[in-house]
Structures are given as C-alpha cells and as structure tokens.
Structure 1
Amino acid sequence: MDLIKTFLRWILKRLYKVEINGLENLERAGDRVLIVANHTSFLDGPLLAVFLPGSLTFAINTQIAESRWLRPALKLVKIFPMDPTNPLSAKSLIRYMQEDHRAVIFPEGRITVTGTLMKIYDGTGMIADKSDAMVLPVRIDGAQYTPFSHMRGRVRLRWFPKIRLTLLPPQKVHPPADVRGRARRQQAGQQLSHIMTDMMFATSHYHSTLFDALIDARRVHGGNHIVMEDIERRPFNYNKLIMASFVLGKKLAHLTQSGEYVGLLLPSICTTMLTFMGLHSRGRVPAMLNYTVGARGLISACRTAQLRRVITSRRFIELARLGEIAEELSKQVELIYLEDIGKQITAFDKLAGAVSGLFAASSYRRHCPQDSPDDPAVVLFTSGSEGAPKGVVLSHSNLMANRTQLSVCVDFSSRDIILNALPLFHSFGLTSSTLLPLLSGMKVFFYPSPLHYRIVPEIAYDINATIMFGTNTFLAGYARFAHPYDFYSVRYVFAGAEKLHEDTRRVWSEKFGVR
C-alpha cells in the first residue's frame, strides 16, 4: 500500500507540481483530528490521501462509496461511509473519532460550482464538537482549474495547473457550554463556517499589486473573457484591457514621474479604469477626485495630496458642466486631457502595447521593478463635510484584502454581471463595484451617474444585471421608479456607505424579490 501511495504521489507531483505547505500543523494537531478541506474537484481525495502523512479515514457518502468506478480507488484508503439521511452515521463517526483517529471530511458535501466555498453543513461542526477533535483546515487551490472540476464555462480549464495544499493551524469548535440541542449544532456549524472562510481568505493571493492581480485574472479566465462595458457599448476583454493600459500608460509616463500621485477627474466609465490601470502599469498612483465638491474642494484635495497633474476629459467637463471648476483648477495644477493623448497614439504604439500585453508580467516588472503590495495604490478623499477633504492612502494589499474578503464570503461567479453606477472616487464604488469584478472575472457595466433613478433600472433590465451595489438613498430612488421586472435577474443587492432603512429593504424584497 505504501508503495502504491509513493508512486501516486510521484505521478501527481510531476503532473501538477503539487506544493504542500504547513505540514507541521498536522503534527501539532495530535491524534484526534478532523481534517476539513474545500472541495474543488475529483482530485481532492487522492491529493489528500497521498500527500498527507499517516493513516487517514475518509468520511464519504454511502452512494459514492458504492459507486462501481470508485471502488478500486477506495480500496487504497480507509473509508467511513456516511448516510446523510441517517443520524446514526454521524454518531458512529463521533465514536470512531473519540478513539483517536484522523478523519477527512469535505464540509460542503459536494464539489464547488462557484470556485469558492458553498454551503457548510452544520453536521460537520457537530462532529468536531462532540468528538472533541482538533479541526485542521486544508485549502486545496488549483484543482478547480482542471477538467476534473465542475468549473467548465466559468474559468479557463487546463489539464495540468499547479496545485497547492495549505494546512492551517488546528483549532477547536466549542460552542458555549450552556447551549444545547439544535442551537448547539447550529453554533458549531457557524464556528466551522468561520474557520473555513478564514482559511479561504488567509490562503488567497491578496498580497499582490493590482496590476499583477489583473494579469493573474486573465490567466485564470482567459484573455477573451469580457470584463467591462459602459454606455458606449464597446466591451473590453482582458486582452484589450491590458493592452490599452500599456498603451495609455506609456503616454502618461512621458507626462508624469515614477511614483507620482496623479489626479483623476473622470466619471464611472471604461476609460477611467483604462487610465487607472495605465498609471499602475508605469508605477504611478491614481488620486480619485470628487467632482461634486466644487472648485474649492477640488483645489483643497489637490493640495492635500500634493498633486501637480490631473487627468480629465474635455467631453466630461462639458457634459458635467464643470467648465468654471476646470478653469479654476487649471490655475493650481496641470490638466491633462485624454482627448489630446488619444490623438498622439500611433499604430506603432498600439503594436507595442499588443506585444507588452502578450508578455504582460515581464513587461510590467520591467517598467515597475520595485512595485510592492505594500506600496500606495490609490488616494481617496473624504467628502469634506467636516472641513477640508482629507486624503486617505490605500495600499495594494488594502484594496486586494477588501476585494478578497468579499469574494470568499459570497458565491460570486464569472457569469455574474455587476451594474456599477457608483462614483469611482468613493471606496465603495472603487473596491466593491469595480476592482472586485475586474479581478475576479465578473463583467462590470459602468453607468456614470447613480442619480438617474429611472434610467438605472432600465439599464439593469437591458444588461441582465445579477449584482448591484448602492447606498440606501440610491436604492430607494431606484425602487420608486422601477418596474417590478426591471431587476428580474438580480441575485444580490449590497447596500453600504450609509444605514439601510427598513422601508428600503422591504420594498426591494416585496417588489423585486431581492433579499
């Protein structure tokens, strides 16, 4: 048996370059251990069986245990068949664990179809509680990109992606002693769910720069995957987004200095994100300016962040009626107009951008060799309601951690379409509605104003939006003017930035069926 295990380990390591981290945590856990892992593919069981040392028992569904095609493989490991309809199965496993055995359970009960955690069964938490076993979380990452997963059509599948197994420190599931019965079972399940969620966050690759994360998203979802669009109806896939970012970044590099804070006075449209990522491709830091605060507020923000240059658009200045404000601002800083930059872009620039896009990782590192996840990534400003606007500098890790926290808690999918009418100068609009979808393979549709209460619902209906973010004020406004069918495709609505009123929550639930 050991010889077969060694051979399988050799095969899997050669095929998938399997990397295992944290094996010392298995030793620290002791003899009575409940190993809980996320379930990404049919490879998960074999991976744990051959790469985790010692004797392990796999708790599996009785129907799977009786499957003909799995029987030969199951003979290579100890199995503990469990009937989910029979409570005695769990009691038998608890008694087995109390005899100081190590058991493996996939608490989701099935292979994920979202790429993240699905439902965590309370029963697994109860087993950990009743058996008084140490819980050892194990993250399996990479197997979801193989054809042995259920992610076809959601991510780009590859036959032999790199697979990582990460063992985190062992923990205990212990609800309060005075909690009994069903309430104790539920609390144990909640504690286990928190352990699994924390595991997914801790082992996610959030310690990276935004541009590195963009390149990684293209690798996962494919260059032709469409990720953003706006009212101009010119969709951008990852290839086009990265190429355009390099082209624009090169032009902006001639007008700015490395590490410089550069103001952006632009609405929520695709061009703004191209400019944002273009600056990042050359190591500049965007400072998102709030165009609603007037000339005095903008000038104060520029002084606070020590901005010397602000990128804007003549068309935006005209449509938003910001001519007088732009004139006042131009007396303090240099205004760079995107229309002027566009006229300077040649066919050679586009060709160079395409080549850089093909070798995006090396091109980015060549231009920004010193960029670190802990470096500043963006400057945001307070509203100025309590005096002059204050600048808030957020690092790449700050933004990536916020985006990752959302992605591990909610079943987002690359098939989701996010309608973003929030301004990008606000952290809610930038992080949740923009960076989250762009770096997670979801499509984001930009609309430049959240105040168009009649139009935004029509846009949601037209693009089949599945996710929306908004403040209570905006959501209440949409609810007043929307037809009950406008939000027929919406799965989630996230409210933030201000308290959600009960009336708003109720009307969305009753009128649109969104909870």
Structure 2
Amino acid sequence: MRTIMRKLFKFFYNVEVKGLENFEKAGDRVLIVANHLSFIDAALIYLFMPQRPLFAVNRFIAQKWYFKPFLKLVKNFPLDPTNPMATKAMINEIRKDKKCMIFPEGRITVTGSLMKVYEGPGMIADKSNAKILPVRIDGAQYTPFSRLKGKVRIKLFPKITVTILEPRTFDIDAEIKGRKRRHAAGIKLYDLMSQMLFDSSDYKRTLFRSVIDQSHIHGRRHIIAEDALRKPINYGSLITRCFILGDKIAQNTKKGEYVGVMLPNMVTSIVTFFALQYIGRVPAMLNFSTGEKNLISACKTAKIKTIYTSKRFVTMGKLEGIVEAAKKQKIKVIYLEDIAGEVNIFDKLTGFCKGLFPSAFYKPEKNAYQKPAVVLFTSGSEGTPKGVVLSHENIQANRYQLASRVDFGPTDIVFNALPIFHSFGLTGGTLLPLLSGIRTFFYPSPLHYRIVPELIYDTNATIMFGTDTFLSGYARFANNYDFYSVRYVFAGAEKLKEETRRLWAEKYGVRIFEGYGATETSPALSTNTPMHNKPGTVGRLLPAIEYKLEDVPGIEEGGKLIVKGANIMKGYLLSKTPGKLIPPEDGYYDTGDIVSMDDEGYITIKGRAKRFAKIAGEMVSLTAVETYLSKLWAYNHHAVVSIPDAKKGEALVLVTDKTDAERADISAYAKKQGIGELSVPKTIKIVDKVPLLGTGKTDYVSVQKLAS
C-alpha cells in the first residue's frame, strides 16, 4: 500500500525529496519536525521518509473520521494536550531510540508562513536528548488540501518538494530549570524552524527571475502594485512593460552599467527598476531630497552617465536645478515620457509576446545572482554619503530571512510611503512584498501626515513601514478608525520613542514592531515579531546572521556589533575611488553601533560608536540623552551633539524645537531619574525645525553645524 501511494504522489505531485542522506545522519533517537501547510503533510512524511516514524497525534484530532483511515496505516501516539503525563509518555517512547514526527505549529497554516511554534515539542526534544531533524515541505500550500483557498492560486496538482535538512541538537544551559527551561527550549525550536525555512529557500536567484516565478505562482492577473493615480498593475502587465521599457533603455546603456534612477514612489518607478534588472543594468537609486551637491557627488562616485526620471516629477518636485546640474556634468537625463512617445505598435507587440513567455526571453548568465542588483546611497546623517552595492543574493537572502520570522501572505496589503531611494523603503516596503505576491500601494511622500492615514484606511492596508518621526506624525492626525485593518507596523531607521509606541497601542490598538538594520545589510538585521516581542529592544537577530561584539574602551555594557551573512553588501563605492567596488573585509560588516544582548537574544541599541562623547573622562551616549529628553518632552523633536570644551574635553549641545526649553528643567528631571549631571546638555539651541533627511532620520551633519 505504501509503495502504491508513493508512486501515485510522485505521479500527480512530481514529489522531489532532497537531503535523504541527512535522515541517516540523525541516528536512532530522533524528533522529526516539519512546517504544516496542508492535510497531506503527514502522508508526505509517511511516504517519503526512508523509515516509518511514530506520529504524535492530538487525541481530539485523531477522533475525526477523516483521519482514522490514515492512522490505521501509520504508527501513532495519541497525545492529550491537557494531560502532562501524556507528554512524559511521549518522551519515554523517544528514549527507546525511536523516530517520532511532530508538527510544532500544531495546526495547518492559514497564512502560508510559519505560525505559532509551541514550546512542548522543544521540551520533548530537550528531555529525551533526541536529535532534531528539520523537514521543509513546499508546494502543498497550493493544493486543495490547504487552508489557503481564496488566498493563493490553488492548483490541482502542484509540484511538491520535501527537503530534509541536517540534524541539530539543543544546547541549553544545565542551570536553567522548570518553566524557564521549557521557554528556552521553545525559543530554540522556533529558531531552528525559522533557520530551516531560510536554509531551504531559493535565495540564489535574480530579482527579475523571482518576478517571473511569482507570476507563475499567483497568475498573470494577480494585482501587485498601485499608486496615487489609482491604476493598478498586475504581474502580466508589469513583466510586459519591463520588456518594452528595458529594450528601449538597452539602446542607451551598456550591460553592467550603473544607471541613475530619480523617481518617487509610483508604479512607473517599479517598472523602471525591473526593466533595468531584465537587461542586466544596475539601478542606482538617487536621493533627490539631499540637494544637487550630494546627488552629483553620488553620480560621480558610481560613474553614472545616464539618469532616468519623469518630467512631471521634476516639475512638481521643483528639481530643475538638479537636472541642470547633472547636464553640466555631461550626465544624460532621459525622461520616461519621451521614451513612451517613441514606443510604436511593433514595440508593444514584441513586449506582449515576450510577456506571454517571459522565461524564454529572460536568460540571465550563470551565477547572475551574485552580480550587483542595485546601488543605494547612505543617508549621510553623519558624514559623506557612500554608494552601497547590493547583489541579487543579498536582497533575496534578506527577504527570506524576514519571511522566516513574519507571517505575511498574498492576502496582505502593504502601504509604502518610504522613499525607494532608501533601503528600508526599497527592500522592506517594495521588493519584499512584490517578490512574495503581496499587493503594495505606493505613495510619494511620507510627510503628508493627514493624507497617509486616510489612504491606509481607504486601501485596507494590513502592513506598513515607517520611522518614529513619520509614525508619530500619523498618530497625531489620524482618525481613531483609520488603522482598523492594520495587522503589523514595522519601525526602523531611528529609535522608536516609547510615547509613539504607547500612542499607537492605546489609540489605535496596533502594536509597533521595532527592527534594526543598515543599508549595508539589505537592510534588516533584527526585528521584533508577533511571536517574539520585547518593547524597548530591536528584536532578535534574523536567521543565518553571524555576529560578534567587539569591546569598546570606556563602554562597560555591550560592545560594537559586527555581522556576517548572505545579506551583507557586496561592497562600497567611495568618492575617492569612483566606480571601484570595495568589498567588506572577510565578509564582515562593522555596524558602528554599540549594542547589548540579553539571554534570549534581544538587542538593545546603546548608540553609535561615533555618537559617544568623552566628558571629564566618562563616555556619555548621545542617543541615551536624546532618549530621556524624548520622555521629558515627548511631543518635540530633539537632537544632541557634542562640541569641543576646554575644561572637560567635550560638551553636549541640545538642538530642539521646544520653544521654552530650559536647562534647569532638564537638570531637575535628570536628577529625579538618577541620571548624572554629565548627561545634561550644557547648551540649548532652539530652532523652528530640527533638520531631517528625506528618510525621516535626523540630519546630524546639519545639526552639528547649528551647534557649532
């Protein structure tokens, strides 16, 4: 019977099993854990594992009539989740050197992603001293036997892949006992499951190939993007337009060339980005908010010869000065409207035919995923901007790292007002959803605090991204019901104030999940999630990221975070060596951030290594000073910098928009909170508006000039 069923599954589902050698490596005492996508998952494990495992089955589920035929075929162990003795009996069974199968999620996913992972299976693995064998099932979520009908494109017989990864063991401190040990085992199991999802993901693919893949999965008619013009675009139209525009751009550029893109958040920008991917050009996303000097500097650094932009955008954004400055540097500026006027019926027909059979016309070279995919320019909040070159593999790895921890799916709608020239806006708010089948609404400015909440309400957005500055602005002007549909809000790029977090939770009933990263890390390194959330921290490191904390003289708690992983950039483009790629040393990236990490792996940012002042021999965190000032005056914006001081080495200067700020008030508050006098700014400079970058982060270069 087992042989016949296996042949039927192979025939109908083209089942492919990878990593069979890992099954033998696991030995005899093994706990097999797998993600749970459909009602046929258990059958897949039963049919395609070399040996028949013992299935742990919820006693109440085992009583269902439709499970009874399957249970007669397999060895099973009924578990009563309300009876602790049943778990002990399960542990004793595994100790008899048996292979046992458990689905740690306890239920079939309704999102297509990893859902809640129960602590029980982790405790069973720990107590039985068993090897853990992770198994990834993929493709079963598209069968009629999943719970995703109406959420994804269901196919009668999709291809199913079963990947057996290398066996793992838990390493839990022997001193941890009782509930704490159970909790620790649960976290270990969750990390193992998310690591399994990442390790078995296909992140070694080009971005345009992933767009084609998603069109096959969700269908050409699946709407994927919309902007303020309210003209939605589906995968079929996106791919067709990429072929048409790409063929036109290819006439003015060379393969591998860095091509400037100066466009706001709109559908046309996405088409331009992927059109460049199709023809093997590298889009260099230009930050038009920093002025012509920085933009021209960026063009020189990346040796950009051509910029693609829009006449309408240049006029509305009053960017004529930047365009003229670029032309003076002999940089060719091409308007998309002019290209549209050149497209004839033959071009459209050719693009349409290519769009019907995209795989036949898109043939990337071998290992193309290792090539540069985009150039982003650092915001320059603390110095001269640099070009950051990210490969296809970098971006793909980071989106799969996030996908292994956050349960999002095709039924979600992302609202993205963060600029696409910023890493958070491009990779987090644009590429992650577009390459995952998630519809995204693009809005050109995050500064419209009254309009953005109204559009979130109107579009029924479920996921949004923002910085503290923008999120606090939306919260002040939004109606109480504007965010009724929002499931998750992810904050990054700057520290999330407690007042902002509290306001969103109390007024709108929405939790903000704070994360952390850098342009150089594509960008996410860590994030809080619905499963693991600790306010005040930036969450836990994502899977497949190595790290080390380097001691910093004068800093007692924590160290400088240095990271390595598949999401770390290919390298820098520097102004002193234009066009030359400078890779990170030994693959490690020095974040320059001083962080501490607790026993569960939650990271707390202490501040930038550069943002510490040495006052009277003591190291003072400028970030920590800003943090307590934001608690004292929660509805104002503050920036703290240091200047040379003849007596104490350095002195703190507060730049704030609070019109009645007094040093005496700060000193009194600091004393009440037990904060030392060295952390009280010596000088206060009141301004109408604290300088900000286009990304919403504080412009510390301008702040420093004001302070000096």
Is the TM-score greater than 0.5? yes
Q: How does 1:34-183 map to 2 (within 5 A)?
A: 34-183=31-180
Q: Report SS of the residue matched to 2:288.
A: coil
Q: How does 1:370-409 map to 2 (within 5 A)?
A: 370=366, 372-409=368-405
- Amino acid in structure 1 at the alignment position of 2:355: G
Q: Deviations over 1:454-488 (max 9, x none)?
A: 11111111111111101111111111111111111
2:318 aligns with: 321
Among 402, 412, 415, which residue is 2:411 paired with?
Answer: 415
Q: Report SS of the residue matched to 2:2.
A: helix
- Amino acid in structure 1 at the alignment position of 2:247: K
1:283–1:371 Cα contact (<8 Å) kept: no
Stretches of structure 1 that go unaligned for 5 or more consecutive residues are none
CA distance in 2, matches of 1:409, 1:8: 34
Q: Deviations over 1:152-177 (max 9, x none)?
A: 11211112211111111111124221
- Amino acid in structure 2 at the alignment position of 1:489: S
Calculate the TM-score normalised by the size of structure 2: 0.71
Calculate the TM-score normalised by the size of structure 1: 0.97
Q: Deviations over 1:481-506 (max 9, x none)?
A: 11111111111100011111111111
CA distance in 2, matches of 1:45, 1:370: 37
CA distance in 1, matches of 2:231, 2:52: 56
Q: Does residue 1:348 correspond to 2:346, yes or no?
A: yes
What is the count of residue pairs matched by the alignment?
510
1:297–1:384 Cα contact (<8 Å) kept: no
- Name which of structure 1's ranges 383-392 and 496-505 shifts more when overlaid on structure 2: 383-392
CA distance in 2, matches of 1:113, 1:349: 42
How many angstroms does 1:347 deviate by?
2.2
How many angstroms does 1:328 deviate by?
0.9
Q: Deviations over 1:243-281 (max 9, x none)?
A: 111111111111111111100011111110000011111
How many angstroms does 1:371 deviate by?
6.3
Q: Does residue 1:487 correspond to 2:483, yes or no?
A: yes
- Over the matched positions of the two proteins, sequence identity in percent amounts to 57
Q: How does 1:445-484 map to 2 (within 5 A)?
A: 445-484=441-480
1:300–1:388 Cα contact (<8 Å) kept: no
Q: Report SS of the residue matched to 1:409.
A: coil
1:300 aligns with: 297
2:622 aligns with: none
How many angstroms does 1:87 deviate by?
1.5
1:364 aligns with: 362
- Amino acid in structure 2 at the alignment position of 1:419: F
Q: Report SS of the residue matched to 1:31.
A: coil
How many angstroms does 1:120 deviate by?
0.6
The structure with the greater share of residues assigned to strand is 2
Structure with the bigger RCO (C-alpha within 8 Å, sep 6+) is 1
- Amino acid in structure 1 at the alignment position of 2:379: S
Stretches of structure 2 that go unaligned for 5 or more consecutive residues are 512-708
CA distance in 1, matches of 2:297, 2:130: 58
Q: Does residue 1:25 correspond to 2:22, yes or no?
A: yes
CA distance in 2, matches of 1:437, 1:118: 18
Q: How does 1:194-209 map to 2 (within 5 A)?
A: 194-209=191-206
1:216 aligns with: 213
1:238 aligns with: 235
When the two chains are superposed, the root-mean-square deviation of aligned CA atoms in Å is: 1.2
- Name which of structure 1's ranges 79-88 and 288-297 shifts more when overlaid on structure 2: 79-88
Q: Report SS of the residue matched to 1:75.
A: helix
1:382–1:389 Cα contact (<8 Å) kept: yes
1:338 aligns with: 336
How many angstroms does 1:351 deviate by?
1.7
Q: Report SS of the residue matched to 1:436.
A: helix
Q: Deviations over 1:345-371 (max 9, x none)?
A: 122222211111111112111xx4456
Q: Does residue 1:507 correspond to 2:503, yes or no?
A: yes
1:265–1:311 Cα contact (<8 Å) kept: yes
1:272 aligns with: 269
How many angstroms does 1:38 deviate by?
0.5
2:423 aligns with: 427
- Amino acid in structure 1 at the alignment position of 2:85: L
CA distance in 2, matches of 1:296, 1:465: 37
How many angstroms does 1:386 deviate by?
4.0
CA distance in 1, matches of 2:362, 2:183: 48
Q: Deviations over 1:69-96 (max 9, x none)?
A: 3322222110111111221211110011
The runs of 4+ residues in structure 1 deviating greater than 4 Å are none
CA distance in 2, matches of 1:41, 1:255: 50
CA distance in 2, matches of 1:66, 1:453: 54
- Amino acid in structure 2 at the alignment position of 1:358: L
Among 434, 444, 448, which residue is 1:438 paired with?
Answer: 434
CA distance in 2, matches of 1:324, 1:55: 71
Q: Deviations over 1:425-449 (max 9, x none)?
A: 1100000100011011111101001
CA distance in 2, matches of 1:101, 1:373: 42
How many angstroms does 1:59 deviate by?
0.6
Q: Deviations over 1:7-32 (max 9, x none)?
A: 22122112111111111111111110
